[in-house]
Amino acid sequence: MDILSTFRIALLALRTNALRSALTMLGIIIGVAAVIAMIAVGKGAQSRVEEQVRSLGANVMVVYPSSQNTGGVRSGSGGIQTLTEDDARAVALEVPEIMFAAPTHRASGQVVYGNQNWFAAVFGVNNDFFDVREWPLVAGRPFEAGELASSGKVIILGQTVARQLFGEDTPFEDMIDRVVRLRKVPLTVIGVAERKGQSAVGQDQDDAVFVPLSTARTRLFGVVQGKLRRINSIWIKVSPGQDMKSAEDGTRNLLRQRHRLAAGQEDDFTLRNLTEIMQAQEAASRAMTALLAAIASVSLLVGGIGIMNIMLVSVTERTREIGLRMAVGARGGDILSQFLVEAVTLSCIGGAIGVALGVFAAEMVGKSAEWRIEIQPPAILLAFGSAALIGIFFGFYPARKASQLEPIDALRYE
């Protein structure tokens, strides 16, 4: 018997018991749909974490001031300003693994242009900050040396602030050379930074403006002890190929030495390796995706067991038919093929419906929960292929049992 005839007979047998066939396929449909939807959601989360890693820049560490202890009472992180611009310069020059060490002072303020205003994070930085963060400009230019040295009244806008002040339709190039006010200080827009998106904690990184560090200190914030050039963070980029742990240890030892901390005395700063933190989040996201897929795959296994049960019932019900076919010349292989094709057909039809349902479910989850989803073609192929293999695996035993029936015994079966 050719495969086309076998397939036609299999479809006829399935159509004869349409409701039972549909219920049998339900397990495969749910399993395939669950695998596709879970992988789509998991991959979306993983891609989001990867974007956040890239948005921070590669091989990045940050140093913050730590707490202070006064009379046994400890302040929170940043309770005392222990970092200076000279610390950042020393780290860049004396730790061989370091490429850039950018001193940064962060505050906030109302940025005003005409009748528009927006409250944003304000960063006092130098151009090394943009190199550390791998944050180029989409329009304009970086700070000039004279502006950095003499508290130049210039500003670079993040895209969220730029759009809030100038509108969605204004080209970034047209924003250059316009004057905005920050804490009543007029500042000329010299650049607009590239879009960065959200950080790992959901903060909009583009909701920020950047001014020269000296401008932040002397014109905007009136930082206490300005002569000591205090800052509240150092953003550090480690050279490609260098060991992050070695760079971290070198930075910590240098800062302890500069701050004259005795052996056994706690650091007066906090050093965070952002790359390690984000890599850990990325690994956790990958593990969660695999876990979700594994849990969803259980449905496929249950669906396969359902196929085996129904095929065994079908063999029992059609014992006389099997005996009759063998009596007129059908071989065991023909019977095996017929029942195996029925099982695989059930699985493949269920798999195809499950693929459509899984894609639809993933899209609905993404829209309703505002989650990022990412439909993976390999995941679709994997789920559909698994459904077909399940049909073969769980359909083989009933098919083999049918093919081994004796024609005389089958014909006598009541």
Say if 275 falls within a structural domain: no
Residue 295 and residue 217 share a domain: no
Say if 272 falls within a structural domain: no
Say if 60 falls within a structural domain: no
Per residue in 243-280, pLDDT (tens digit) is 888 999 999 999 999 999 888 888 889 998 876 666 66
pLDDT, mean of residues 215-240: 79
Compute the distance between CA of residue 73 and CA of residue 67 in angstroms, rounded to an integer. 10
Say if 64 falls within a structural domain: no
Residue 248 and residue 102 share a domain: yes
Residue 212 and residue 238 share a domain: yes
Residue 341 and residue 234 share a domain: no
Say how many domains are in the chain.
Answer: 2
Say if 73 falls within a structural domain: no
Residues in contact with 140: Cβ distance below 8 Å, sequence separation at least 6, in sequence order: 156, 172, 176, 189, 190, 191, 192
Say if 68 falls within a structural domain: no
Range of the domain at 230: 81-267
For residue 225, report the phi and psi dihedrals to the nearest 5 degrees. Answer: 60, 45
Could you tell me where the beta strands, DSSP code E, fall in 89-172? 98-113, 116-125, 137-140, 154-157
Residue 288 and residue 238 share a domain: no
Neighbours of 61 (CB within 10 A): 24
pLDDT value of residue 250: 94
Say if 15 falls within a structural domain: yes
Per residue in 122-160, pLDDT (tens digit) is 999 999 999 998 899 999 999 999 999 999 999 999 999
Beta bridge mates, 231:
83
Residue 241 and residue 139 share a domain: yes
- Which value, to the nearest 10 degrees, does the dihedral of the CA atoms of residues 242, 244, 247, 252 take? 180
